[in-house]
Amino acid sequence: MASLLNIATLSARTFQRALDVTSHNIANVNTEGYNRQRVEIVANAPQTSGASSYGRGSRIDSIERVYADYIWRQQLQATSLYQRYDGALANAKSVEGVIAANDGGVQTFLQRFYDSLHNLANEPLSNVNRQMLLDEATNLESHIQNITTFLNDHQTQANAQINSLVDSINEQLDVIQRANDAVFRARDQGTFPPNDLLDQREQAIMKLGELIDVRTFEQPNGHIDVYIGNGKLPLLSDNTRVPITAERSPYTDENRTEVYLQISGQKRVVSDLISGGQLGGVLDYRKNMLDPAQRELGLALNGFVNSFNLQHKQGWDLNGNVGGDFFQNLNAQSIAHRDNTETDGSLITVQFATPANSTLPNGLFDEIALYQPRDYRLQYDAGIGAFRVYDHETGAPIQDSSGADITIAPGSSQVVDGLEVSVATGGYADGDRFILKPHEQMLQDFRRVLDDPNAIATRGEDPNNSGNPAGDGDNTNVANLANLASRPLLYADAAGQPSETILGGYSRMASNVGLYTYGVQISLDAQQNVLDQVTQRREALSGVNLDEEAANLMRYQQAYQAAAQMIQVSNTLFDTLIGVIR
């Protein structure tokens, strides 16, 4: 009798708990990140009496999460990549809409400027055409200033996005840290796994994965360690936070925000090691679209300004004077690293190199073809008493035409990719670093400096009187200026010959912007499919199925009612037995 009552009571408790778990599943059918739970019911150890063995009912052995770690990790990675492409695309489309537009674009203004040169070549003495040329130059200048402001604004927006995302990352790490503590305490004190806490922690990690690419490693004590940089750099280790911050670049006057992490006790820039999440998308867009767009546009302008000024100086104006600069020449100074001994960036400058073959008409523009769309880093090597020159982005040494690494001693200058870099004497120490951004600087400095229409050097040289101007109506030089529109000047090919016109240089930049946007769009669409498939797999395995839960609810309810009936039968038998004894 006692065994019957005990079995019935234990069964009622077992199925009541099973009903609780089923109800909990139903209640969380729409809870993000929830993994359905399942009760594992097992038989109690039998009672042995002599040669006989008697059953003792059932109990709940565990409450399991229906969960596959490998699927969750796939979903985490797919989510992180999706957010990267989505974030990069949103920024890229904004830039593409301005850069790649034909109407009102740089290409249109350049073409109008060259058209005004053709008009002046047809009527070199026309005051109207001379003024029109200056006006078109002003229009071009104004548009370049507008697009420069736009690109600078996007750099500022990228800085703000990086700051905001790093703040969100730190907030999410706080959530995961607290969840680690809660899981540790629950596992230490409880009988069953803390399923809901595990779900909440994994959901917090999933939200962190939307912000930055992460790898996780579960520890024996229940903590989860969180790493970035393909699992190499810890953000959370043994539940101890590693500070991640967004701060200005080590080149403090660069106005650029980078991501820093404490590595081996030192704060280091880790921006290039972040590849996923919204932060990875912003960094990728900045590095592979926004920065190159500024450099390539600046390169085209540098080629335009230098070629135009060089050709303009080959002629004479209406007053019989040799032509001067029409546009402001490049004259940029370096940006010093904050840890330098010598922090005066004005000691290192870059300007247009003097043409190597300036006396030969065909060699006047040779240096322009050598321009490369990159920034430069100069690092002082005390061992050789000179600066070594590197590509700032890749870190590769820059070499001269003979294949030797370029070095520049203080007090001297060298031609680097068609640009003359000058280094003044100073108190340099080993390892002092400076960066040069000549093409980005041209975007800031582009402007017309010639104001007098009569100072436009339209005339060429008198063929009968060397070193003197031709007659007033001569159009030789202005025709040569107009022909620069169709002359390849930029991007030397393997044979060393220029392959792009100025307009072609702009088109290359615009095409690269469009290609980046298109490529990111394709990647986003593909990643959306991957994420959908992984999410469906996860839902099929771990999601709550209301039909299944309804069936379980009915099954456990019937079992509970049967156990209750057993208790009632046990009580009836017990009452009958008492009555017989009386």
Token pair 């492409």 is found at 85
At 368, list the tokens: 């322009």
Domain count, the chain: 2
Residues 279 and 297: beta-carbon distance below 8 Å? no
At 565, list the tokens: 């009936």
- Is 353 inside any structural domain? yes
Q: Roughly what angle, to the nearest 10 degrees, separates helices 291-312 and 502-542?
A: 180
- Is 457 inside any structural domain? no
- Is 55 inside any structural domain? yes
Residues 352 and 367: beta-carbon distance below 8 Å? yes
- What is the DSSP annotation of 305-360? HHHHHHHHTTSB-TTSPBP--SBPPPEEE-EE-TT-S---GGGEEEEEPPPTTTTS
> Hey, is 300 helix, strand or coil?
helix
Distance CA 465, CA 472 (A): 14
Distance CA 395, CA 430 (A): 17
- Is 132 inside any structural domain? no
At 474, list the tokens: 């001569």
Residues 239 and 177: beta-carbon distance below 8 Å? yes
- Domain's final residue, options 445, 463, 488: 445
Distance CA 314, CA 499 (A): 24
Write down the pTM of the prediction.
Answer: 0.89
- Domain's final residue, options 66, 99, 121: 66
pLDDT in tens, the chain (582 residues): 446 777 878 788 888 888 888 899 899 999 888 999 998 888 887 766 655 556 777 888 888 898 899 999 999 999 999 999 999 999 999 888 877 665 567 778 888 999 999 999 999 999 999 999 999 999 999 989 988 999 999 999 999 999 999 999 999 999 999 999 999 988 877 667 898 999 999 999 999 999 999 999 999 888 999 999 888 899 999 999 998 999 999 998 898 999 999 888 889 999 999 999 999 999 999 999 999 999 999 999 999 999 999 999 999 999 999 999 999 999 999 999 999 999 999 999 999 998 876 555 567 899 999 999 999 999 999 999 999 999 999 999 999 988 999 999 999 999 999 999 999 999 999 999 999 999 999 999 999 999 999 999 999 999 889 889 998 899 999 999 999 999 999 999 988 899 999 999 988 998 899 999 999 999 999 999 999 999 999 999 988 999 998 998 899 888 878 878 877 777 776 667 666 666
Distance CA 80, CA 100 (A): 29
C-alpha triplet 10, 13, 18: angle, nearest 5°: 125
- Is 335 inside any structural domain? yes
Distance CA 389, CA 378 (A): 5
- Domain's final residue, options 17, 33, 66: 66
CB burial of residue 218 (10 Å; 0-12, 13-18, 19+): exposed
- Is 28 inside any structural domain? yes
- Is 498 inside any structural domain? no
- Is 80 inside any structural domain? no
Note down the domain range covering 37.
Answer: 1-66
Give me the amino acid identity at 356: A
